[in-house]
Amino acid sequence: MKELLNNWKLIALLCLTLGLAPFFPEPHFFGKLKWVWGGAKGMQPMDWFDFIFHGFPFVLLIRLLVVKIIKK
């Protein structure tokens, strides 16, 4: 499991596919992020799940960057 969490290629692939899908008209995660920054008015539980689901690869990327910086 540790190998998966520290695999740059896998995390980059997740960010580019799951994190940004669907790509048009704008990446889904960025649309949800704008909605949250705007106060999240009208967001249903499914919208929150979708936001977390599409944002999780970016959380893994930030975690990996922090781990690499701390190791130095």
pLDDT in tens, 2-42: 787 888 899 999 898 888 888 788 888 888 899 999 998 99
pLDDT at 72 over 80: no
What's residue 20's pLDDT? 83
Structural domain boundaries enclosing 28: 2-71
What's residue 41's pLDDT? 92
What is d(CA 6, CA 49) in angstroms, rounded to the nearest whole number? 24
pLDDT at 50 over 80: yes
What's residue 28's pLDDT? 80
Number of domains in the chain: 1
